[in-house]
Chains A and B, each alone.
Chain A
Amino acid sequence: MNTQISIDVSRCVGGGQCVVAAPEVFDQSDEDGTVILLSEHVGVDQLETVRDAARLCPAAVITVSQEAGR
Chain B
Amino acid sequence: MTVAPEQRSVVVVGAGIAGASAAEALRREGHHGPITVLGEEPCPPYDRPPLSKDVLRGSREVRELGLRDPNVWDDLGVDLQLGRPARSLDLRRRRVLTDTSETPFDGLVLATGAVPRVVPALVGHPRVHVLRTAEDASRIRDQLTGARQLVVIGAGFIGAEVASSATAEGVDVTMVEAASAPMTRNVGQTVAKGLADLHQRHGVRLICGTTVVGVGGMQGVLLELSSGETLVADLVVIGIGADPNVSWLRGSGLDLGDGVLCDASLNAGPTDVFAIGDIARWPNHLFGVTMRVEHWTNAVEQARHVARNLSHGLADPFLGSRYVWSDQYGLRLQAAGLTAETEPTLLVDALAEGRYLACYEKQDRIVGVFGAGMAKKLARARALIEQRTAWAEALEILSDGVSR
Contact = CB atoms under 8 A, between A and B. Distances in A.
Contacts of A58: 296-297, 300-301
Contacts of A59: 300
Contacts of B114: none
A32 B375 contact: yes
Contacts of A19: 376, 379
Contacts of B323: 15
Contacts of A38: none
Nearest to A57: B300
Interface string A26-70: 001111110000000000000000000000001100000000000
A13 B299 CA distance: 13
Contacts of B382: 15-16, 20
B379 A33 contact: yes
B383 A14 contact: no
Interface residues of A, number: 15
B373 A31 contact: yes
B376 A30 contact: yes
Contacts of B284: none
B73 interface: no
A28 B332 contact: no
- The secondary-structure label for the interface of chain A is loop
Contact of B296 (A13, A17, A32): A13
Given A14-B375, A16-B378, A19-B379, A32 B300 contact: no
A28 B375 contact: yes
> Of residues B325, B334, B375, B376, which shows the largest number of chain A Cβ atoms within 10 Å of its Cβ?
B375
Interface residues of B, number: 21
Contacts of A14: 325, 332, 334, 375
Given A19-B379, A20-B383, A58-B300, A30 B334 contact: no
A5 B376 CA distance: 21
Contact of A16 (B49, B301, B354, B379): B379
A29 to B, nearest CB: 6
A31 B332 contact: yes
Contact of A17 (B327, B373, B379): B379
Contacts of A17: 379
Contacts of A20: 379-380, 382-383
A19 B327 CA distance: 21
Contacts of B334: 14-15, 33
A28 B325 CA distance: 15
Nearest to A32: B332
B208 interface: no
Interface in B348-386: 354, 373-380, 382-383
Interface string B321-349: 00101010000101000000000000000
A28 B373 contact: no
A58 B248 CA distance: 29
Given A20-B380, A28-B375, A31-B354, 13 more contacts: A14-B325, A14-B375, A15-B325, A15-B379, A16-B379, A19-B376, A20-B382, A30-B376, A31-B332, A32-B373, A33-B332, A33-B376, A33-B379
- State the 7 A-B residue pairs at the shortest beta-carbon distance, nearest first: A16-B379, A33-B375, A32-B332, A58-B300, A58-B297, A20-B383, A15-B323
Interface of B: 49, 296-297, 300-301, 323, 325, 327, 332, 334, 354, 373-380, 382-383
